[in-house]
Amino acid sequence: MNAIRRAALTAVPFGAATAAYLGTFLAYHDRLPQRIATHFSGGGGADAFMGRTTALWTGCGLLVGLGLLFTVLSVASGKNAGSRLNTALGAGTAVALGYPLVLTVLVNVDVQDSSGVRLPLWHVAVLLLAGVAVGALVWWLMDEEQHPEPTSAASLPLADGEAAAWSRTIVSRVLLLAAGAIVVAGVFTVAFGSWQRGLAPLVIGLVCGAAAAVRVTVDRRGLTVTSTVLPRPRLALPLGSIADAGSVRVNAMTEFGGWGYRIRPNRRGVLLRSGEALSVRTTGGREYVVTVDDSTTAAALLNGLTDRDARERDQ
């Protein structure tokens, strides 16, 4: 699918949502109170308010800003795996955001006191269903995602009973810096403010720091990916579940939408950066991608261990 079509499938829903909100607001502008209800509690009652002009600019700015963001992501992802999902998410978000914005204007029309405005909770189900429906339609209109095929690695011959193992550690400096900044913010909050408010950033920072370094191991058990600090969570693929392994280059953002443990249709990834990665295809047809250096050696050893395990099971 060319870039123009991807951009259109993302930008048009946001453009339509912006036009609908702006048109509705201007059409009823003189019938709206100076202060309109913009947020509603679980019971349907208004619990947050904005000035009329502020609400107009905030709603339009939100739609235009997100529209530009999703359009850029969709175009930048090219034909890589992930472009289809980015475009579908963008279109669904446009509808799921545009619907309540327009509805907020309508429920404030001819109201003298905006504190009495109510919005029935069933509209939440409608906006979610509408967003999913539009996202699914855009998904169907797009071509099937493509991602780079892994380079096949030769199988490393192993004799019966021969022991062999491979292990590498990969560290994300960006995630470490982010974790450090969050921890520092938490420490300052605890020291000069409330410990209750500082507890959350401390926990988040420590968890991010623990996830910033993972050890990738290939041995007689198969493939294991775990944090260098915590024993869980971990990714473990036993030899019996592995069909073959290879090396591939990945772009974490365009192919998986970010870093960390990522999920795509029939594809999973443990990505702390972009670049060289180990690709493992299971007997069930799913691919696991782990960014790590020297992935060709890891793949060759994994293929050799898998072949030997298959021979032993056949005997």
- pLDDT tens, residue by residue, 175-231: 777 778 888 887 877 777 666 777 787 788 787 777 788 899 998 888 999 888 777
pLDDT at 70: 84
pLDDT at 17: 92
- In the DSSP assignment, the letter for residue 114 is G
Kindly give the residue spans of alpha helices, DSSP state H, lying in the chain: 3-27, 52-76, 83-107, 122-141, 173-192, 195-211, 252-256, 295-314
CB distance 82 to 1 below 8 Å: no
CB distance 141 to 5 below 8 Å: no
| pTM reported for the whole predicted model | 0.56
- pLDDT tens, residue by residue, 222-268: 899 988 877 777 889 998 888 888 898 887 776 777 777 888 878 88
Owner of token pair 């007689």: 220
- pLDDT tens, residue by residue, 255-310: 777 777 888 878 888 888 888 899 999 988 899 999 999 889 989 998 888 888 88
- In the DSSP assignment, the letter for residue 233 is S
- In the DSSP assignment, the letter for residue 148 is P
Name which residue leads in pLDDT, 32 or 3.
32
